[in-house]
A and B are shown apart, each in its own frame.
Chain A
Amino acid sequence: MRIAGKGLNPDGAPLSFTFDGKPYAGREGDTLSAALLANGVRLMGRSFKYHRPRGALTAGSEEPNALVTVGADARQDANIRATTQSLYDGLSARSQNAWPSLKHDAMAVNDLAAPFLSAGFYYKTFMWPKAFWERVYEPIIRRAAGLGALSGDAVEEIYEKAFAYCDVLIIGAGPAGIMAALTAAKAGADVILADEDTQMGGRLLAETGEIDGHAGSDWVKRQLEALAQMDNVRLMPRTTVTGVYDQGTFSALEQVSEQNAPLNTPRECFWRITAKRSILCAGALERPIAFPNNDRPGIMLASAVRAYLNRWGVAAGKAVTVFANNDDAHRTAMDLIDAGVRVAGVIDSRSDAKAQGDYPLFKGAQVIATKGRRGLQSITVQDANGTHEIETDCLAMSGGWNPSVHLTCHMNGRPTWSDDILSFVPMDGSIPDMSVAGAARGKFSTLECLEDGIAVATAAVTSLDLKPQKTETPTAEDTPYAIEALWQVEGKGRKWLDFQNDVHVKDVRLAAQENFRSVEHMKRYTTQGMATDQGKNSNVAALAVLADATGRGIPETGTTTFRPPYVPVSIAAMGAGSQGHGFAPERHLTSHTASVDRNAPMIEVGLWYRASYFPKPNETTWLEACNREVNMVRNHVGVCDVSTLGKIDIQGPDAAEFLDFVYCNTFSSLKENRVRYGLMLREDGHVMDDGTTARLGPNHYVMTTTTAAAGQVMKHVDWVSQALRPDLDVRFASVTEQWAQFAVAGPKSRELLNTILDEQIDNDSWPFMACGDVSVAGVQGRLFRISFSGEHAYEIAVPARYGASLFGLLTTQAEAMGGGLYGMEALNVLRIEKGFITHAEIHGRVTAFDIGFDRMVSQKKDCIGNAMSRREGLLDSEREQMVGLKPVEIADKLTAGAHLFVEGADAVSENDQGYVTSVCHSPTLGYDIGLGFLKDGPNRYGERVMLVDHVRDNHVLCEICHPVFIDPEGGLARG
């Protein structure tokens, strides 16, 4: 029921919304739960396990019951707390875990079977038969128990990630946080004040107490205005600090917009905040009392009843009762009476309790029963005079307050028990450079919080060598906190502890009885403290019950571990931006646009995008295009962008010696303007990478690496230079991106190049493995006569800005000669035909010996991996070594990944002789060929071996051959 004139926003604009399809009216500034209560809707959800009717227990982010689904399809958000969901016009919310409707939920039959469904029921019952768990039991249980569901559609909304830095991070903007922020900011510190609520102010927005003679909310407004004026203060409302990590790093979730915002607006932002100091002013959470059937809609925390009344102008009932073990809760009765709401009684468990106003007080009394299936109707109170039944539709309960110590425990700190407030308080130093102020460390009066905020912030800025200015403490209430222990009330019916997981007192006792006595074991056995509220409402009470059941004190029993995140964080926020083009950087070649224009399918090679093949209009398969491109290179000329290969410019007086150390073969003997193939080993003696290195001057080389290992090799040479050979004076830098480089391969390659080079070349000026500077259509470039196809071939490089232009020019010229572009598929066939290796072969487990390059590991000098490559077993002829393979029946198809067996042997791992690494159809030879590794392979040429591919069900009898299939003498490349 809305009370006219009450609340912080009494003139808020009217908003319409629906809940389970039914239209309601709310007003600007409401939360969904406030608006529902204003409409007299108490039933908001069904519980997780027993499908019991539930309403809002709280008015904040700790809400365990009122979880709803908001929106639909791709914009559907499940498990949204109605207590934190801001109302907007047109909001559509649905209840969860109920069928066919919230009022008539078929699965509520679970509640009747409750005696059989106690804690540990699943573990005991669904043990046998074993196979039934996954196929039968789990699907049934999943359907019966649960919360909201995902839509199954990909998220359409935008989420953000961001970073922020400050001197002092203040978490929570209640009285302590606001005073801490003012104090730190006035001292000149860079301050971030983060608060989870839509409006800053904490409990000051929900209570009627005054500060400096003004309403708390007015005082808050003025302080926030002052803070907003300061350049060194950043206010972050709706931002929940969710975790604490090393080195003063915090995660925080900002709710940027509601579900109805335009799709271009971020929904949430996941912040990483780094702070020199932090001050936790997270306040405290009120805890329930475990009395029989304490979970009916209408039973809520006293602090929530006050919040709904004072902040949103909503009376949670027409005849309200209060049940408490502390003075603080009596305020609830006073506020309600002031607002004209009838208070049907205050039940105080303390025999010395005093009424603070005109309401019926039951001293030394307890609520022992409640009635009302879908909403509270009455309670039964027991005191020294017997039992009394009271008609009431709202019971405000308070078992005391728990300081929000959660963040102080994120780095393994444990809170300590305080007998004064009967709760846990944070230990000093639990988080480096974090201090705690206000209710979060058990200082419960408003004045104490204000004072503490000033004191703690003063200490923090002093430790930063800043000069704090004197800050006056405002005047405020300073009522002492008076409480007497009351954890559970005996009586018939279940006494709920954890509303979210349907755990009650008996479950905890059962855990203790079955010897799950450690608090961590009890948690797992009963599921208490799990799910979205993470036990915020139930932890302290549950362990008090456990302590009682095990005959230990609460401090000895201890708490479970609070872990991040403090509130649920959507995965979309944590992965913000990493979808679509944001998933990974796309490295585009200078030929990219031209390749795409020719309909070349682009394949990802690491982060690079390379053309797979260049289809002609009449070609229907990739193989047709590939075969044509191979034949084109073999017979005419082909052009391929090879800029993705890593290029490292190496200079210095010791460059040659450095290369001799990095490569297993020798580069100091390489002549200037010549290129040599090099093989690089890892420190463990296995092959790391290969490539060609050109000597451009006496102390100047350019190394090329494979595309895949470019980053790894760059890191490796850095490591070698800095850590292994700091004695060598050598400098290097990646020039991969500087040069656009194109392979020009085929019998007509020189003829093509001579159409674009400013000075003609011939076999004498540019013999095989020559290199040097050239002028390409007026641009200074480099030419290397190297071949990865076995043909007469070159690679020509120009600064990348000319890459697209040169690519176009080469294409036009090649096509005029009967040639053209070729892609990765053809490049692969050309190199397999020639027996050249790639990382398919040098996959990390092979040695130079295995690929037939052992003689390249020079024994005249040392190099990385040399000694290790000589280890026993690494030079054994029984090792699997590289061979070529061809089918005995030439129509048979080879498959990569297949294993090799002796003909007639069972195809089982014990008989494994080797495996196939690369295969292709060779248009040059007219049949499939492959490369693989085979035990004693080089001594078995001409023998037959069975290729077995269990995955593709392929069996092919192969002939073992030399891995170089065409032009074994290499005459073509030299020609």
Chain B
Amino acid sequence: MVKLIARTACAGLLPKTIGTITLAEIAAAPVTLIAPHRGQKKATSDALKAAVGVGFPAPNRCVGIAPRAMWCGKDQALLIGVGCPELRGTACIDHSDAWAIVQIEGADAVAVLSRLTPIDLRATEFKAGHTARTLIGHMTGGITRLGSQSFEVMVMRSMAGTLVHDLTQAAENIAARAVNAR
């Protein structure tokens, strides 16, 4: 009996430690894209809360940790880390394999991300639980703040290599600055 072997998006590429930061793949599966049908957002949110403990997030917000519900577009959210409960009146689309998700953590995490994304990452503006759909280098993706020095960065799965490349290059530049810049 043959069996298919699973391989994660960043397999063989991570983890890495560069200077003060670490890069690690987040094994997020299962991930479900949730899009309530017309007028169903509240009902969906209530049902979600009852079933898995987190409601439907407001725009640019991520609620919960494990599991968590992350806003990802107009009336859309990703339910991460728990199987999708039965949600009537809601389109539930499996996205477990659609994303490459990398956690970046460390004292220079903001400095590194500032090389790649145009959004305002100051702690006063982008707090833990805030999320944004934005650019990461040349890629569209998402950034979520997990903690003061910890972020989750996600791009399309096929771009995992480029994400790791771009984060690595930015982190190496920051590390080299600390050593060699005047």
A549: interface (CB < 8 Å): no
A617: interface (CB < 8 Å): no
Q: Which residues of B contact A777 (CB under 8 A)?
A: 1-4
- Nearest chain-B residue to A165 (Cβ)? B120
- Interchain CB contact under 8 A, B157 and A800: yes
- Interchain CB contact under 8 A, A266 and B6: no
B176: interface (CB < 8 Å): yes
From the candidates B3, B37, B114, B166, name the one contacting A582 in the complex (CB within 8 A).
B166
- Interchain CB contact under 8 A, A738 and B173: no
- Nearest chain-A residue to B94 (Cβ)? A738
| Contact residues on B (Cβ < 8 Å of other chain), bracket | 35 or more
A586: interface (CB < 8 Å): yes
Task: Work out how many contacts link A and B, with CB atoms closer than 8 A.
Answer: 167
A861 vs B155: C-alpha distance when bound (angstroms): 39
**Shortest 10 CB-CB contacts between residues of A and residues of B:** A800-B97, A651-B91, A587-B158, A731-B35, A265-B180, A731-B91, A802-B4, A165-B120, A737-B98, A801-B6
- Of A155-163, A552-560, A831-839, A886-894, the segment with at least 4 beta carbons within 8 Å of chain B is A155-163
Given A257-B180, A733-B35: A582 touches B165 (CB 8 Å cut-off): yes
What sequence of 0s and 1s flags, for each residue 471-503 of chain A, a beta carbon within 8 Å of any chain B beta carbon?
Answer: 000000000000000000000000000000000
Q: Which residues of A contact B120 (CB under 8 A)?
A: 165, 274
A734 vs B6: C-alpha distance when bound (angstroms): 22
A-B contact pairs, 18 of them (CB 8 A): A165-B122, A198-B182, A256-B177, A257-B177, A258-B182, A266-B177, A274-B120, A577-B166, A607-B159, A651-B91, A651-B93, A731-B35, A733-B33, A733-B91, A737-B157, A798-B4, A802-B6, A809-B4
- Nearest chain-A residue to B2 (Cβ)? A777
- Interchain CB contact under 8 A, B117 and A163: yes
Extra 17 A-B pairs, beta carbons < 8 Å, given A801-B7, A804-B5: A160-B170, A165-B121, A258-B182, A264-B172, A265-B180, A266-B176, A266-B177, A582-B166, A585-B139, A590-B7, A732-B35, A735-B94, A736-B98, A737-B99, A777-B2, A777-B4, A805-B4
- Interchain CB contact under 8 A, A586 and B93: no
In the complex, how many angstroms separate the beta carbon of A144 from the nearest chain B beta carbon?
Answer: 38
A756: interface (CB < 8 Å): yes
Chain B residues within 8 Å of A, Cβ to Cβ: 1-9, 29, 33, 35-38, 74-76, 91, 93-99, 114-115, 117-122, 124-125, 137-139, 155-162, 165-166, 169-170, 172-173, 176-177, 179-182
A815 vs B112: C-alpha distance when bound (angstroms): 47
A608 vs B162: C-alpha distance when bound (angstroms): 12
A589 vs B117: C-alpha distance when bound (angstroms): 25
- Nearest chain-A residue to B178 (Cβ)? A265
In the complex, how many angstroms separate the beta carbon of A161 from the nearest chain B beta carbon?
Answer: 7
A261: interface (CB < 8 Å): yes
A261 vs B177: C-alpha distance when bound (angstroms): 10
A163 vs B9: C-alpha distance when bound (angstroms): 28
A354 vs B34: C-alpha distance when bound (angstroms): 82
- Interchain CB contact under 8 A, A804 and B7: yes
- Interchain CB contact under 8 A, B181 and A261: yes
A809 vs B5: C-alpha distance when bound (angstroms): 10
| Contact residues on A (Cβ < 8 Å of other chain), bracket | 35 or more
A165 vs B114: C-alpha distance when bound (angstroms): 10
A968: interface (CB < 8 Å): no
Q: Which residues of B contact A843 (CB under 8 A)?
A: none
The binding surface of chain A is classed by DSSP as mixed
A778 vs B4: C-alpha distance when bound (angstroms): 7
Q: Which residues of A contact B137 (CB under 8 A)?
A: 577, 582, 585
A894 vs B143: C-alpha distance when bound (angstroms): 51
A77: interface (CB < 8 Å): no
Q: Which residues of A contact B160 (CB under 8 A)?
A: 588
Interface centre among B115, B117, B119 (most CB of A within 10 A): B115
- Nearest chain-B residue to A755 (Cβ)? B2
From the candidates B5, B98, B125, name the one contacting A805 in the complex (CB within 8 A).
B5
Q: Which residues of B contact A163 (CB under 8 A)?
A: 114-115, 117-119
A649: interface (CB < 8 Å): yes
A586 vs B124: C-alpha distance when bound (angstroms): 34
Give the residues from 577 to 595 in chain A that come closer than 8 angstroms, CB to CB, to chain B. 577-578, 581-582, 584-590
Q: Which residues of A contact B5 (CB under 8 A)?
A: 802, 804-805
- Nearest chain-A residue to B95 (Cβ)? A738
Q: Which residues of A contact B33 (CB under 8 A)?
A: 733
A894 vs B109: C-alpha distance when bound (angstroms): 56
A652: interface (CB < 8 Å): yes
Q: Which residues of A contact B159 (CB under 8 A)?
A: 585-588, 607
Q: Which residues of A contact B121 (CB under 8 A)?
A: 165
A190: interface (CB < 8 Å): yes
- Interchain CB contact under 8 A, A778 and B3: yes
- Interchain CB contact under 8 A, A585 and B162: yes
Q: Which residues of A contact B165 (CB under 8 A)?
A: 581-582
Q: Which residues of A contact B182 (CB under 8 A)?
A: 86, 198, 257-258
A165 vs B159: C-alpha distance when bound (angstroms): 28
Q: Which residues of A contact B180 (CB under 8 A)?
A: 257, 261-262, 264-265
A272 vs B118: C-alpha distance when bound (angstroms): 8
A425: interface (CB < 8 Å): no
- Interchain CB contact under 8 A, B158 and A737: yes
From the candidates B2, B37, B97, B119, name the one contacting A801 in the complex (CB within 8 A).
B97
A213 vs B23: C-alpha distance when bound (angstroms): 52
A649 vs B94: C-alpha distance when bound (angstroms): 10
A265 vs B159: C-alpha distance when bound (angstroms): 26
- Interchain CB contact under 8 A, A738 and B98: yes
A5 vs B12: C-alpha distance when bound (angstroms): 60
- Nearest chain-B residue to A159 (Cβ)? B173
Q: Which residues of A contact B162 (CB under 8 A)?
A: 581, 585-586
A779: interface (CB < 8 Å): yes
Given A585-B162, A737-B157, A738-B95: A729 touches B181 (CB 8 Å cut-off): no
A801 vs B30: C-alpha distance when bound (angstroms): 12
A737 vs B74: C-alpha distance when bound (angstroms): 20
- Interchain CB contact under 8 A, B158 and A577: no
From the candidates A274, A582, A803, name the one contacting B169 in the complex (CB within 8 A).
A582
- Nearest chain-A residue to B39 (Cβ)? A729
Q: Which residues of B contact A652 (CB under 8 A)?
A: 37, 91
A761: interface (CB < 8 Å): no
- Interchain CB contact under 8 A, A806 and B114: no
From the candidates B76, B98, B125, name the one contacting A800 in the complex (CB within 8 A).
B98
Interface centre among B74, B138, B181 (most CB of A within 10 A): B181
Q: Which residues of A contact B76 (CB under 8 A)?
A: 731, 733
Q: Which residues of A contact B161 (CB under 8 A)?
A: 586, 588
In the complex, how many angstroms separate the beta carbon of A23 from the nearest chain B beta carbon?
Answer: 23
